[in-house]
Amino acid sequence: MINAGALGERKIIDMILKRLQQMPHMPIPFGDDASAVDLGNGRLAVIKTDMLVGKTDVPPKMNMRQAARKAVVMNISDLAAKGVKTTALLVSLGVPRDLLEKDIVQIGEGLNAGAREYDAYILGGDTNEASDLVISCSAFGVAEKNSLMLRSGAKPGDIVAVTGEFGKTASGLRILLGSMLPPRRLRKKLIDSVLMPKARLSEGLALAQTGAVTASIDSSDGLAWSLHELSRASNVGFMIDHLPIAQEVEDFAELYGVNPVELCLYGGEEYELVVTVKPESFEKVTKKVPLTRIGYTTARKSLMLKMHRKRIPIEAKGWEHFRTAPPRT
C-alpha cells in the first residue's frame, strides 16, 4: 500500500481536507496562511499553527535558541501576511530524551525572544517526549474583518510586489549544508538570513491599512510557490519582469557558478510578503511601505518570467515535506 513518503505533503493535506466538514461562513477559506473565527462586530479571531521539526527544519549550526525563535517567527509571519498582529502564542513541544539541559534553556529563551521581538507573548503550552525535536506553535490575533488580506482577490492588471529581496536563505542553506566558504561578510549575511529570519509584521499591518492590497501571502515556501498559490486562490496569472535577487545572492551565484534565478525563485524559509496591489494606488502604498514591483497580474492563468526578451515559465516548485531533499553542493 502507498505510504506517506510516496504521497508527499500536498497530497496528504488534500486527503485530510477532504474528510473535514467545513465550518459555515468561514471568514478565511481552507488553505490560506491562517484561519479565522467571527467574533461579531466586524472583528475576527485569526489563528494559525505551524510546526518546526528538528530533522527537516533545523539546519546544521542553527542552535536551539534560534530554532525556537524561528518556530515562533514563522507563525507571526503567517498572520502578518493577513495583516494581523499576533497577540499570543501557545507552544507544544516534543522533546527527545537526549536533549541537553542547556538546549532546553535555549528553547525557552528563543521562544520568548521570538515573541517579544514582535510584541507578542507566549501564554502556555505542553511538553511531550518524542523522537524528534518538535516545536509546534499556534498564533492568535484579533483583526478587523474588512482589513484582512487574503490569498484570493488579485485582479488582472494589479501590480505584484514584494517586501524585500530573495535568494539569501537558499544561498545560506547551501553554505550551511555544503563545504563552500565565501568571503566572511557575504557568508555572514547569507547564513544570518537562515538562522535569524524576520517576519514582516509592521509591513503587513501597514499594507492592510492601505486598503489597496488585493491579495497577500508570505513567501515561506519560496517566491515561485507563493506566486502559484496566489494564482490558484485568485484565479489569475502573473508576468514577472523584474526578479528581486539580492546583491549578495548575485555575488554568491557568481562565485560558485550557481544560477541566481533558481536561488531567487525556488528557495524557501524566506519570510517576505508577496502582494498584489491596485495599480492606481501603488505609488501611494509605496510611500507607506517600501515595496519592490516585480511584475503584474494577468487574466491568463500562467506564470511567466520575462528575462532578456525571453519568456520562461515559472514552475510550481518549492519546499515540500517528503519531497524536497535539502540542497547539497
The footprint of its own copies on residues 5-24 (CB under 8 A) is: 5, 7, 9, 12-13, 15-23
DSSP 8-state symbol, 120: -
Q: How many residues bind its own copies (CB under 8 A)?
A: 79
Binding mask 42-71 for its own copies (x = CB under 8 A): ---x-xxxxx-x-xxx--------------
Among 67, 69, 85, 131, binds its own copies (CB under 8 A): 131
Among 63, 117, 132, 205, binds its own copies (CB under 8 A): 132
Using rule CB under 8 A, residue 286 touches its own copies: no
C-alpha of 51 from chain center:
13
Sheet holding 88-95, edge to edge: 35-40, 43-53, 134-144, 88-95, 121-129
Using rule CB under 8 A, residue 128 touches its own copies: yes
Using rule CB under 8 A, residue 152 touches its own copies: no
Using rule CB under 8 A, residue 26 touches its own copies: yes
Q: Which is nearer to its own copies, 4 or 307 (CB)?
A: 4
Q: How far is the CB of 12 from its own copies (least distance, A)?
A: 5
Q: How far is the CB of 124 from its own copies (least distance, A)?
A: 4
DSSP 8-state symbol, 281: G
Q: Which of residues 98-127 bind its own copies (CB under 8 A)?
A: 98-102, 104-105, 107-109, 111-112, 116, 121-127
Task: Please give the Cα distance from 153 to 143 (Å, whole number).
Answer: 18
Among 67, 69, 85, 87, binds its own copies (CB under 8 A): 87
Q: What is the DSSP string of 289-327?
A: S--EEEEEEESS--EEEEETTEEEEPPS----TTTPPPP
Task: Please give the Cα distance from 10 to 135 (Å, whole number).
Answer: 21
Q: How far is the CB of 139 from its own copies (least distance, A)?
A: 9
Task: Please give the Cα distance from 148 to 27 (Å, whole number).
Answer: 9
Using rule CB under 8 A, residue 93 touches its own copies: yes
CB within 8 Å of 287: residues ≥ 6 apart: none
Q: What is the DSSP string of 244-257?
A: -B-HHHHHHHHHHT
Among 42, 142, 247, 280, binds its own copies (CB under 8 A): 142
Task: Please give the Cα distance from 210 to 213 (Å, whole number).
Answer: 7
Q: Which of residues 165-224 bind its own copies (CB under 8 A)?
A: none
